[in-house]
């Protein structure tokens, strides 16, 4: 449950600043220090969400996990709600940058692009238990859904639009009979389901076997563009 009475904002405790290069403005060093501090707190929030869940995560847990004072947490985020929103924003930005980088790196071939975006979902920097559990904590909390939609709705729509466009291009190139919108939706739903199975850990599913299953789907849907992976 989100805290409804945020504590009064207090000045951030003085801490040693990092050494600056010759001629580098002091203001830049302070800004870097502040950004580093915020990232520490966000990473500690991800850890707490993975360990305790959404409602049980507290500002004190985050401060302790980051090894910082509770006053610093209050200074940067003022309330648990703002801290959680910033964490969700960070994770959404990170995910969007990750799949876009994979898409760009794949070049202009749509088959390579789709395979790269699918594979990006199972790279360790994005697909690890702590981050998957944090995503599930947000998805499972009804109160976070309006915030999730506000922060992530446009990114989700952009991602799905890219998947639909790639499916449509491959259909036209390969002469397939499927409907691109439905195939794209099925692919996205399967990727989300594989993430959930990885987070639950109830079956013998690894990042490698999950990616193999996703590539199996691509080979079945687009047999003229992808070979079936070896067993």
Closest alpha carbon to 173 in 213, 113, 229: 113
CB contact at 8 A, 151 and 88: yes
Residue 185 lies in a domain: yes
pLDDT at 51: 93
pLDDT tens-digit readout, 96-131 = 999 999 999 999 999 999 999 999 999 999 999 999
Give the whole-angstrom CA distance, residue 201 versus residue 7. Answer: 38
Residue 173 lies in a domain: yes
Q: How many domains does the chain have?
A: 1
CB atoms within 10 A of CB 165: 15
The SS3 of residue 139 is: helix
Tally the residues of the chain. 231
Residue 189 lies in a domain: yes
pLDDT at 70: 86
Q: Which domain holds residue 139?
A: 88-221
DSSP 27: H
78 token code pair: 């003022």
Low-confidence ranges of the chain (pLDDT < 70): 1-32, 142-144, 202, 230-231
Residue 111 lies in a domain: yes
Residue 186 lies in a domain: yes
CATH number where 120 lies = 1.10.357.10
pLDDT at 143: 67
* CA-to-CA dists, residue 106 to 99, 103, 144, 152, angstroms: 11, 5, 34, 24
pLDDT at 185: 97
Residue 60 lies in a domain: no
pLDDT tens-digit readout, 156-171 = 899 999 999 999 999 9
Residue 193 lies in a domain: yes
Is residue 4 exposed (0-12), middle (13-18) or buried (19+ Cβ within 10 Å)?
A: exposed
| Angle value at C-alpha 119, between 211 and 46, nearest 5 degrees | 90
Closest alpha carbon to 183 in 163, 153, 154: 163
Residue 40 lies in a domain: no
pLDDT at 89: 93
Residue 160 CB-half CA count within 13 A? 15
């Amino acid at each position: 449950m989100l805290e409804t009475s945020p504590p009064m904002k207090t000045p951030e405790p003085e801490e040693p600043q990092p050494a600056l290069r010759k001629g580098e403005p002091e203001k830049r060093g302070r800004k870097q220090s502040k950004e580093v501090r915020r990232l520490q707190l966000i990473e500690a929030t991800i850890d707490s969400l993975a360990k305790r869940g959404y409602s049980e995560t507290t500002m004190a847990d985050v401060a302790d996990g980051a090894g910082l004072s509770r006053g610093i947490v209050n200074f940067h985020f003022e309330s648990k709600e703002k801290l959680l929103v910033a964490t969700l924003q960070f994770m959404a930005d990170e995910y969007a940058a990750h799949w876009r980088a994979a898409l760009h790196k794949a070049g202009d071939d749509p088959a390579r692009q789709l395979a790269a975006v699918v594979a990006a979902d199972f790279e360790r920097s994005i697909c690890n238990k702590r981050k998957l559990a944090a995503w599930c904590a947000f998805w499972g909390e009804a109160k976070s859904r309006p915030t999730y939609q506000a922060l992530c709705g446009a990114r989700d729509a952009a991602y799905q639009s890219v998947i639909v466009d790639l499916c449509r291009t491959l259909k036209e190139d390969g002469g397939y009979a499927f409907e691109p919108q439905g195939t794209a939706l099925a692919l996205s739903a399967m990727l989300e389901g594989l993430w959930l199975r990885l987070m639950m850990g109830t079956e013998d599913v690894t990042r490698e076997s999950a990616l193999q299953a996703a590539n199996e789907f691509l080979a079945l849907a687009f047999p003229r563009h992808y070979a079936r992976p070896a067993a």
